[in-house]
Amino acid sequence: MAAIPQTWHYGLIARWWAEFNVGGEEIPYLSDLILQEGGRALDVGRGTGRVLVPLMEAGLDVDGADLSPDMLEYCRGSAERAGYTPLIKAQPTHELDMGREYPVVYSCGAFALGGDRQQDIEGLRRCREHLQPGGVFVFDSELPNHEHFNWLLGAGTAPLEEPWPAEGTRKRTADGTDLELICRTVDCNAFEATRTLAMRVNHTRDGKLLAKEEHTLKLTLYLRNEILLMLQHVGFGDVEVRGGWSDRAPVAGEDGNLLYVARN
């Protein structure tokens, strides 16, 4: 498990996350849960602080960890501007070691990004090890959709590498420059159920290119029952599956993102 997880959350992509990915339905759900469990939590895969900083502003004590130093730099800056100095460590989840336990450990949109199955299992184990007795671990995982299955079924029988689209998604940054994200699939492994994506970022001002970066991200695809077996394997005996960041049961065909709630 020595390989570094393959993610694209660096450089200009980290800046995109910091400027444009804000808020989210996880925040009120987690705020209520953490308050009920004692007011302290660990945010795994914290990124730029999209969830961590609002929770601290709500009066909660939240630490964080993330693989990308670039993302954490934005997180620290956002927290400091709000008047907070959380404990934040640059660590992949399968090497998580915060030196303390928590009543709540959570992860938003970070499970199965970049690593392999053994790293994902070890990451779940590390999250459980950071829980206090009776603590709760919550994380979400997107179900593979028809596009993922089409790629897996075609693996080995058709070219896997897509061409770059002519254009992507463009947004204006706070300093008046533009960032454009362009994404394509570059590999697919049917046996491992993985899909690798490439992201190109163009940074421009008034149409003039200032910088260009390319990064890759490997996705490992999991169905619900495989995740439940993984949680059982690392020692969780009490697990509930919910429809998104809510307390309701999932609805087949409607809920593409499932929430797993596991008690230690």
* 191-250 per-position pLDDT tens digit: 888 989 999 999 999 999 999 999 999 999 999 999 999 999 999 999 999 999 999 999
Burial environment of residue 108 by CB neighbours within 10 A (0 to 12, 13 to 18, 19 or more): buried
Domains of the chain: 11-144+223-263 (3.40.50.150), 146-219 (no CATH)
pLDDT reported for residue 1: 43
Place of tokens 């949680």: 231
pTM of the model: 0.93
Mean pLDDT, the chain, whole residue set:
93
- pLDDT means over runs of 10, the chain (264 residues): 81 97 96 97 96 97 96 96 96 97 97 95 98 98 75 58 93 98 90 91 98 96 96 97 94 89 96
Tokens in use for 59? 């009066």
For residues 173 and 20, what is the distance between their CA atoms, to the nearest angstrom? 8
- Cα first-last separation, the chain: 25
Widest CA span in the chain: 56
- Name which of 26, 31, 19 is nearest 45 in CA terms: 26
| Cβ-based neighbours of 99, under 8 Å, separated by 6 or more | none
pLDDT reported for residue 189: 84
